[in-house]
Amino acid sequence: MKKPVLKESALEIVGRVAVITLGRDDVRNALTGTCLVEDLLDTLEWANTTEEISVLVLTGAGSAFSSGGNVRDMGKKSGIFSGSVLQIQDQYRRGIQRIPLAMEAAEVPIIAAMNGPAIGAGFDLACMCDLRLASRTAVMGETFLNFGITPGDGGAWFLQRLIGYQRAAELTLTGRIITASEALNFGIVLEVTEPDQLLNRALELANQIASKPPRAVRLTKRLLKHAQRGSLSDFLDLCACFQGMAHHTDDHAEAIKAFVEKRQGIYSGT
């Protein structure tokens, strides 16, 4: 599939790694009132259907990862926040709620490189990723209640699966902002880096994953997601099917040969 032309974000390919940078620093990469939702959806669809891509890194341009919903638009009741109850719910369903569905359906691992504040829906976006790295200067929070609204994009679903119900309830019901170091202690982020090292570390981790057999990476990512739902017996059946697929790939044979010869495998994705 042809690389998408994004409206307000930048998409760069580095080997088997794609990096999408949200590009609306003027509104701290707000997800409402911008084209960032469409950019994310187009990128996820492209990554799913582009076998040359093994990992996606998501970060923000400027000072913020994402501020979530545009508070000024909330105050003016414009955009997604305007209209009747029926209209607002429909705008959520056809707008920002497409992100969690697309993120959950992503076939490649996604690494969030949280370069700055990740607030509200921006924090939820990071929680939808498979791995999260944060700059030492990043802060984050499930802040919906501070504005008299509820998490409308699935945040209450993702956060408790990430850190357990009690801690997720505390963060969601207090709406408090936490630091990167606190997020590390809670298990929300995998690592905290200096600001100038964040993207390099994200790319290092992405390339480590991307160095593995490409089809096996995608199958394993799908298994990790399937493991979060359904019964063990159904999951084991799926594991057996995926294992059968993997055993019949050229890359499996190459991986065994590379192991015996004590060298890095050279994988074709077949």
Which tens digit of pLDDT belongs to each residue from 65-95?
999 987 776 776 767 777 898 888 888 898 8
**Tokens 């929070």 map to which residue?**
141
Q: Rounded to whole angstroms, how far apart are CA atoms 111 and 165?
A: 23
Domain 9-210 coded CATH 3.90.226.10:
yes
Pair 188, 162: CB distance under 8 Å: yes
- As a whole number of Å, the end-to-end CA separation of the chain is 18
Strand order of the sheet with strand 55-60?
9-14, 17-22, 55-60, 110-114, 131-135, 191-193
Average pLDDT value over all residues in the chain: 94
Q: What is the pTM of this model?
A: 0.95
Domain ranges of the chain: 9-210, 214-260
CATH of domain 214-260: 1.10.12
pLDDT of residue 218: 96
Chunked into runs of 10 residues, the chain (270 residues) has average pLDDT values of 93 97 96 95 98 97 92 72 84 90 97 98 98 98 95 94 97 98 98 98 98 96 92 94 94 91 91
